[in-house]
Amino acid sequence: AERLANKTILITGASSGIGAATAREFAAAAKGNIKLILAARRESRLRDLATALNLSFAAIKVHTTKLDVSDAGAISSFLSSLPAEFQNIDVLVNNAGKALGRDNVGEIDPEDLNGMIQTNLVGLVNMTQAILPILKKKDSGDIINIGSIAGREPYPGGSVYCASKAAVNFFTDSLRKELINTKIRVMEVQPGMVETEFSLVRFHGDKDTADNVYTGTTPLTADDIAELIVFAATRKENTVIAESLIFPSHQAGSSHSFRR
């Protein structure tokens, strides 16, 4: 709790799943002694989460903001419209992301292609570039990017999503090296299967297909990932949890491909 006291944490994609759980976990770990900036496109969900957090923690300060990370212009106006007491960001959790479709190459919808790359890669890069000057100025802070097993082990029907997450991995690694002479920590959490709205989004709202992804398995919950993110952010400053791959106990990889 002391290591988080009075810190300002910015979480993208905080309206659902891992992002929302991470907001709750930071609040609990800091016993409310924290400032949270919650960003996503669905602002009413952010407001509901802020209301719940304010009810649970007397001291907490929560700022919610509608932000589409794939819109470069929106990122700069987001920063300039931050209330003064939220401007000194200490931790950026680049969580906003998605898979769109499970189509093989040749059948990928250009809108899905664009949606994944603009959010998972371009949005993450633009957010990082926007916040980095704040961290550099005080020579401290954390950037925690959400990658995926999909960025380490690609699978059929996931080419673009997997490529976007592999790009997150290489971007993260490059940035960590670029910042080696600073006290800024750059970290990546790579979840395996987590039950969130991820599959509902991937299958464009088809609930049956989305639910089927988890049938017969015991996926991780968003809270499990949130615990790891907050663990990484609360290590002593000599420690960088650079890359952590996290599976539910029934999973050991992404998929096997054989010609039979």
DSSP class of 146: E
For residues 39 and 55, give the distance between their C-alpha atoms in angstroms, rounded to a whole number.
20
Dihedral sign, Cα of residue 3, residue 147, residue 254, residue 70: positive
Distance in Å, CB of 96 to ligand NDP, minimum: 3
Count Cβ atoms below 10 Å from residue 215 Cβ, excluding itself. Answer: 6
Distance in Å, CB of 101 to ligand NDP, minimum: 14
- Give the residue with the Cβ less far from ligand NDP, 33 or 210: 210
Q: Is 133 exposed, middle or buried (0-12, 13-18, 19+ CB in 10 A)?
A: exposed
Burial per residue of 169-181, b for 16 or more beta-carbon CB atoms within 10 angstroms, e otherwise: bebbeebbeebee
- Give the residue with the Cβ less far from ligand 8X3, 184 or 194: 194
| Nearest to 242, CA basis, from 190, 191, 166, 193 | 190
Which residues are registered as beta bridge partners of 91? 9, 142
Q: Which does 70 bind (CB under 5 to 8 A by kind): ligand 8X3, ligand NDP, none?
A: ligand NDP
- Give the residue with the Cβ less far from ligand 8X3, 15 or 190: 190
Q: Which does 158 bind (CB under 5 to 8 A by kind): ligand NDP, ligand 8X3, none?
A: ligand 8X3
Catalytic residue numbers, as ranges: 161, 165
Stretch that binds ligand NDP, among 10-18, 27-35, 54-62, 136-144 (CB under 6 A): 10-18
Q: Which does 95 bind (CB under 5 to 8 A by kind): ligand 8X3, ligand NDP, none?
A: ligand NDP
Kind of pairing, strands 243-246 and 7-12?
unpaired
Q: Is 201 in the site for ligand NDP (CB under 6 A)?
A: yes
For residues 12 and 25, give the distance between their C-alpha atoms in angstroms, rounded to a whole number.
15
Count Cβ atoms below 10 Å from residue 130 Cβ, excluding itself. Answer: 18
Q: Which does 254 bind (CB under 5 to 8 A by kind): ligand NDP, ligand 8X3, none?
A: ligand 8X3
Count Cβ atoms below 10 Å from residue 108 Cβ, excluding itself. Answer: 17
Binding residues among 137-156 for ligand NDP as defined by CB under 6 A: 146, 148
Stretch that binds ligand NDP, among 1-9, 89-97, 104-112, 227-235 (CB under 6 A): 89-97
Q: Is 37 in the site for ligand NDP (CB under 6 A)?
A: no
Look up tokens 């209330």; give the residue: 83
Q: Is 42 in the site for ligand NDP (CB under 6 A)?
A: yes
Q: Which does 48 bind (CB under 5 to 8 A by kind): ligand NDP, ligand 8X3, none?
A: none
Interacting residues with ligand 8X3 (CB under 6 A): 99, 148-150, 158, 161, 254
Write out the residues near ligand NDP by the rule CB under 6 A.
12-19, 40-42, 67-70, 95-98, 119, 123, 146, 148, 191, 193-194, 196-198, 201, 222
